[in-house]
Protein backbone atom coordinates (compact mmCIF):
# COMPACT_ATOMS: atom_id res chain seq x y z
CA UNK A 1 0.00 0.00 0.00
CA UNK A 2 1.22 3.48 -0.82
CA UNK A 3 2.38 5.42 2.24
CA UNK A 4 1.37 9.10 1.82
CA UNK A 5 3.76 10.14 4.59
CA UNK A 6 6.87 8.65 2.96
CA UNK A 7 7.73 11.59 0.65
CA UNK A 8 7.39 13.94 3.60
CA UNK A 9 9.70 11.75 5.68
CA UNK A 10 12.29 11.64 2.91
CA UNK A 11 12.10 15.41 2.61
CA UNK A 12 12.75 15.83 6.32
CA UNK A 13 15.77 13.52 6.11
CA UNK A 14 17.09 15.39 3.06
CA UNK A 15 16.81 18.76 4.81
CA UNK A 16 18.43 17.34 7.93
CA UNK A 17 21.38 16.06 5.90
CA UNK A 18 21.70 19.42 4.15
CA UNK A 19 21.66 21.15 7.53
CA UNK A 20 24.36 18.87 8.90
CA UNK A 21 26.49 19.39 5.80
CA UNK A 22 26.13 23.17 6.03
CA UNK A 23 27.04 23.10 9.71
CA UNK A 24 30.16 21.05 8.99
CA UNK A 25 31.21 23.48 6.25
CA UNK A 26 30.49 26.61 8.28
CA UNK A 27 31.93 25.45 11.62
CA UNK A 28 35.58 26.28 10.77
CA UNK A 29 34.58 29.77 9.65
CA UNK A 30 32.48 30.26 12.75
CA UNK A 31 35.26 29.22 15.12
CA UNK A 32 37.81 31.30 13.19
CA UNK A 33 35.51 34.32 13.52
CA UNK A 34 35.14 33.69 17.24
CA UNK A 35 38.91 33.47 17.64
CA UNK A 36 39.38 36.68 15.65
CA UNK A 37 36.93 38.48 17.93
CA UNK A 38 38.79 37.12 20.97
CA UNK A 39 42.13 38.40 19.65
CA UNK A 40 40.62 41.80 18.88
CA UNK A 41 39.28 42.02 22.43
CA UNK A 42 42.64 40.97 23.88
CA UNK A 43 44.46 43.51 21.73
CA UNK A 44 42.13 46.30 22.81
CA UNK A 45 42.63 45.40 26.47
CA UNK A 46 46.41 45.11 26.01
CA UNK A 47 46.65 48.46 24.21
CA UNK A 48 44.73 50.16 27.00
CA UNK A 49 47.42 48.99 29.44
CA UNK A 50 50.32 50.41 27.43
CA UNK A 51 49.11 53.85 26.35
CA UNK A 52 51.50 56.72 27.21
CA UNK A 53 49.19 57.75 30.06
CA UNK A 54 48.96 54.19 31.39
CA UNK A 55 52.72 53.73 31.24
CA UNK A 56 53.26 57.03 33.02
CA UNK A 57 51.09 55.85 35.90
CA UNK A 58 52.62 52.35 35.92
CA UNK A 59 56.36 52.52 36.55
CA UNK A 60 56.36 48.72 36.74
CA UNK A 61 56.50 48.55 32.93
CA UNK A 62 59.90 50.27 32.98
CA UNK A 63 61.03 47.73 35.56
CA UNK A 64 59.73 44.92 33.34
CA UNK A 65 61.68 46.25 30.36
CA UNK A 66 64.88 46.42 32.40
CA UNK A 67 64.29 42.90 33.74
CA UNK A 68 63.81 41.50 30.23
CA UNK A 69 66.93 43.29 29.01
CA UNK A 70 68.86 41.71 31.87
CA UNK A 71 67.47 38.27 31.08
CA UNK A 72 68.28 38.63 27.39
CA UNK A 73 71.85 39.58 28.22
CA UNK A 74 72.17 36.58 30.54
CA UNK A 75 70.84 34.24 27.85
CA UNK A 76 73.50 35.51 25.46
CA UNK A 77 76.35 35.34 27.97
CA UNK A 78 75.46 31.77 29.02
CA UNK A 79 74.97 30.57 25.42
CA UNK A 80 71.40 29.60 26.33
CA UNK A 81 72.72 26.64 28.30
CA UNK A 82 69.25 25.42 29.34
CA UNK A 83 67.75 25.51 25.86
CA UNK A 84 68.31 21.78 25.40
CA UNK A 85 65.97 20.96 28.26
CA UNK A 86 62.53 20.55 26.65
CA UNK A 87 60.76 21.39 29.89
CA UNK A 88 62.50 24.77 30.01
CA UNK A 89 60.39 25.93 27.08
CA UNK A 90 57.09 25.54 28.85
CA UNK A 91 57.17 27.61 32.04
CA UNK A 92 57.11 31.41 31.76
CA UNK A 93 60.28 32.97 33.10
CA UNK A 94 58.45 36.13 34.19
CA UNK A 95 55.07 36.75 35.82
CA UNK A 96 53.52 39.55 33.76
CA UNK A 97 50.73 40.01 36.32
CA UNK A 98 53.33 41.32 38.78
CA UNK A 99 53.95 44.15 36.33
CA UNK A 100 50.30 44.98 35.70
CA UNK A 101 49.78 43.11 32.41
CA UNK A 102 46.68 40.91 32.13
CA UNK A 103 46.01 37.67 30.24
CA UNK A 104 49.67 36.52 30.33
CA UNK A 105 50.10 38.43 27.05
CA UNK A 106 53.34 40.33 26.47
CA UNK A 107 52.43 41.57 23.00
CA UNK A 108 51.23 40.62 19.53
CA UNK A 109 52.84 39.36 16.34
CA UNK A 110 51.33 40.68 13.12
CA UNK A 111 51.98 39.13 9.69
CA UNK A 112 50.33 41.24 6.96
CA UNK A 113 51.14 38.75 4.17
CA UNK A 114 48.99 36.15 5.96
CA UNK A 115 46.42 38.65 7.27
CA UNK A 116 47.27 37.24 10.68
CA UNK A 117 47.60 38.58 14.21
CA UNK A 118 48.39 36.38 17.21
CA UNK A 119 48.86 37.23 20.89
CA UNK A 120 52.32 36.44 22.28
CA UNK A 121 52.13 34.40 25.48
CA UNK A 122 55.17 33.58 27.62
CA UNK A 123 55.97 29.86 27.91
CA UNK A 124 55.44 27.30 25.12
CA UNK A 125 53.07 24.96 26.96
CA UNK A 126 50.03 23.40 25.32
CA UNK A 127 47.57 25.81 26.90
CA UNK A 128 49.47 28.82 25.56
CA UNK A 129 49.83 27.25 22.11
CA UNK A 130 46.03 27.13 21.99
CA UNK A 131 45.94 30.87 22.60
CA UNK A 132 48.36 32.05 19.93
CA UNK A 133 52.12 32.42 19.52
CA UNK A 134 54.01 30.99 22.49
CA UNK A 135 57.41 32.37 23.42
CA UNK A 136 60.00 29.66 24.03
CA UNK A 137 61.53 30.24 27.43
CA UNK A 138 65.34 30.22 27.21
CA UNK A 139 65.15 32.31 24.04
CA UNK A 140 65.26 36.10 23.94
CA UNK A 141 62.21 38.02 25.12
CA UNK A 142 60.36 40.05 22.45
CA UNK A 143 61.89 43.46 23.07
CA UNK A 144 64.56 43.42 20.37
CA UNK A 145 68.18 44.46 20.73
CA UNK A 146 71.60 43.27 19.66
CA UNK A 147 72.43 39.62 20.43
CA UNK A 148 68.79 38.51 20.60
CA UNK A 149 66.68 35.87 18.90
CA UNK A 150 63.08 35.71 20.08
CA UNK A 151 61.57 32.34 19.14
CA UNK A 152 57.78 32.10 18.84
CA UNK A 153 56.02 28.77 18.28
CA UNK A 154 52.48 28.36 16.97
CA UNK A 155 50.28 25.52 15.78
CA UNK A 156 50.12 24.71 12.07
CA UNK A 157 46.40 25.21 12.18
CA UNK A 158 44.09 24.69 15.14
CA UNK A 159 40.43 23.80 15.26
CA UNK A 160 39.60 27.31 16.45
CA UNK A 161 41.88 29.27 14.13
CA UNK A 162 44.26 28.94 11.17
CA UNK A 163 47.29 30.01 13.24
CA UNK A 164 50.35 29.37 11.00
CA UNK A 165 48.57 27.03 8.60
CA UNK A 166 49.53 29.20 5.62
CA UNK A 167 53.11 29.79 6.75
CA UNK A 168 54.50 28.54 3.43
CA UNK A 169 52.96 31.56 1.73
CA UNK A 170 55.52 33.74 3.48
CA UNK A 171 58.31 34.94 1.22
CA UNK A 172 61.72 36.45 1.81
CA UNK A 173 61.27 40.19 2.15
CA UNK A 174 57.84 40.03 3.82
CA UNK A 175 57.34 42.18 6.90
CA UNK A 176 56.49 40.93 10.39
CA UNK A 177 55.65 43.22 13.30
CA UNK A 178 56.03 42.57 17.01
CA UNK A 179 54.10 44.87 19.30
CA UNK A 180 55.28 44.64 22.89
CA UNK A 181 54.29 46.72 25.90
CA UNK A 182 56.77 49.44 24.93
CA UNK A 183 56.88 49.73 21.14
CA UNK A 184 56.22 48.01 17.82
CA UNK A 185 59.29 46.38 16.25
CA UNK A 186 59.65 45.76 12.51
CA UNK A 187 61.25 42.61 11.12
CA UNK A 188 61.85 41.33 7.58
CA UNK A 189 61.71 37.66 6.57
CA UNK A 190 65.28 36.67 5.73
CA UNK A 191 65.31 32.88 5.47
CA UNK A 192 62.93 29.91 5.33
CA UNK A 193 64.13 26.53 6.51
CA UNK A 194 62.87 23.04 7.39
CA UNK A 195 64.59 21.44 10.38
CA UNK A 196 64.31 18.40 12.64
CA UNK A 197 62.44 18.88 15.94
CA UNK A 198 65.65 18.22 17.90
CA UNK A 199 67.75 20.81 16.04
CA UNK A 200 67.84 23.38 18.84
CA UNK A 201 71.04 24.91 17.43
CA UNK A 202 68.82 26.41 14.73
CA UNK A 203 67.13 28.50 17.43
CA UNK A 204 70.22 29.96 19.07
CA UNK A 205 71.13 33.63 19.30
CA UNK A 206 73.38 34.78 16.48
CA UNK A 207 76.00 37.19 17.85
CA UNK A 208 75.52 40.79 16.83
CA UNK A 209 72.07 40.22 15.35
CA UNK A 210 68.48 41.08 16.29
CA UNK A 211 66.25 38.22 15.14
CA UNK A 212 62.70 36.96 15.39
CA UNK A 213 62.15 33.26 14.62
CA UNK A 214 58.76 31.69 13.94
CA UNK A 215 58.43 27.92 14.34
CA UNK A 216 55.58 25.58 13.46
CA UNK A 217 55.01 21.91 12.64
CA UNK A 218 55.75 20.54 9.17
CA UNK A 219 54.38 19.18 6.93
CA UNK A 220 50.80 20.39 7.19
CA UNK A 221 48.89 17.71 9.05
CA UNK A 222 52.06 16.18 10.50
CA UNK A 223 54.80 17.07 12.96
CA UNK A 224 57.87 15.11 11.87
CA UNK A 225 59.71 18.34 11.06
CA UNK A 226 59.62 22.03 11.86
CA UNK A 227 59.10 24.91 9.44
CA UNK A 228 61.20 27.87 10.53
CA UNK A 229 60.94 31.50 9.45
CA UNK A 230 63.93 33.68 10.30
CA UNK A 231 63.25 37.42 10.44
CA UNK A 232 65.85 40.16 10.88
CA UNK A 233 65.18 43.52 12.51
CA UNK A 234 64.51 46.21 9.94
CA UNK A 235 66.35 49.26 11.21
CA UNK A 236 65.53 51.29 8.10
CA UNK A 237 61.88 51.48 9.19
CA UNK A 238 61.36 53.40 12.40
CA UNK A 239 59.80 51.51 15.29
CA UNK A 240 56.69 52.95 16.85
CA UNK A 241 56.08 53.59 20.51
CA UNK A 242 53.03 51.71 21.79
CA UNK A 243 49.98 53.93 21.70
pLDDT value of position 92: 85
> Is residue 217 among the annotated active site residues?
yes
Share the mean pLDDT of the chain.
85
Choose between 14 and 53: higher pLDDT.
Answer: 53
Angstrom distance (rounded) from CA 13 to CA 70:
65
**Interacting residues of 104 by C-beta distance below 8 A, sequence separation 6+:** 92, 96, 97, 121, 122, 123, 128
- The pLDDT tens digits of the residues spanning 137-195 come to 999 999 999 999 999 999 997 767 889 999 999 999 999 999 999 999 999 999 999 99
Confidence of residue 86 (pLDDT cuts 50, 70, 90): low
Residue 172: CB atoms within 10 A of its CB come to 12
pLDDT value of position 237: 65
pLDDT value of position 76: 98
Choose between 15 and 204: higher pLDDT.
Answer: 204
Q: Could you give the 3-state DSSP secondary structure of residue 113?
A: helix
Confidence of residue 2 (pLDDT cuts 50, 70, 90): low
pLDDT value of position 49: 85
Q: Which of 135, 155, 218, 231 is catalytic?
A: 155
Confidence of residue 23 (pLDDT cuts 50, 70, 90): very low
pTM across the whole model: 0.84
- The pLDDT tens digits of the residues spanning 185-234 come to 999 999 999 999 999 999 999 999 999 999 999 999 888 999 999 999 99
Which of these, 132, 112, 128, lies nearest to 36 by C-alpha position?
A: 132
- Any idea where the domains of the chain sit in the sequence? 6-241
35 HSE (CA, 13 A, CB side) = 20
Choose between 36 and 116: higher pLDDT.
Answer: 116
Q: What is 212-231 written as a DSSP string?
A: EEEEEEESTT--SEEEEEEE
Looking at domain 6-241, its CATH class is mainly beta
Q: Which of 128, 135, 150, 217 is catalytic?
A: 217
**Torsion-angle region of residue 111: left (phi > 0), alpha (psi -120 to 50) or beta?**
beta
Q: Averaged over 47-54, what is the pLDDT?
A: 80
- Which H/E stretch holds residue 56? helix 52-57
Does position 22 have pLDDT exceeding 80, yes or no?
A: no
Amino acid sequence: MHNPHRPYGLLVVAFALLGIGAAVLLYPRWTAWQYSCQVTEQHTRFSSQVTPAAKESNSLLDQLYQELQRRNQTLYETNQADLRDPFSYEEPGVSLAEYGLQDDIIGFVQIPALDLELPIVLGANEEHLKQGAAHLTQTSYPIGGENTNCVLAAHRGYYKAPMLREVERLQIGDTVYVQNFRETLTYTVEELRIIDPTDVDALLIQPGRDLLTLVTCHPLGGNSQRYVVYCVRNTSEADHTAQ
